[in-house]
Amino acid sequence: MSLTIRPATLSDVDTILHFIKELAIYEKAEHEVLATPETIKQSMFSEHSGVYGLICELDGHAIGFAVFFYNYSTWLAKPGLYLEDLYVSPEYRGKGAGIALLQHLAQIAVDKGCGRFEWSCLDWNTPSREFYESLGAEPQHEWIGYRMSGETLEKFAENGKS
């Protein structure tokens, strides 16, 4: 068996959407997926998108993906790599795909001079959290994520309060 990781291309749009939907089902949030082939094309593959994808293949068959972008640490004065999503189809877990994707991303971060490689994990996802910690990743207990989206975001942008 041959495991390979390659950059996602425009021809991977349907594969990416497939993995997004599988991930949403796993996270019990399928109803939240608004992505379409067209929105993926526009957001990931436009000239100045700043969003990147990786496809993990086993013997030429796509079994997982990762989506990432670069952020910036003012304290380090260096870019960081932020992993938005990493997913491997359930029937292919345990074959090294998750570690391979994370190592590939870590190497990209090192090659780009990033001071950090970060991601978030749902608090109930114990298997993933234990996996990440077994690799040396440390949970950031002192930070709480915040989010504005949808109507709240639009109202706040328009008049400063939701």
* Distance (Å, whole) CA 87 – CA 19: 7
Report yes or no: 67 and 55 within 8 Å, Cβ to Cβ: no
| Set 52, 82, 87, 132: catalytic member | 132
* Distance (Å, whole) CA 101 – CA 114: 17
| DSSP states along 59-83 | TTEEEEEEEEEEEEETTTTEEEEEE
**Is 132 in the active site?**
yes
* Catalytic residue ranges: 132
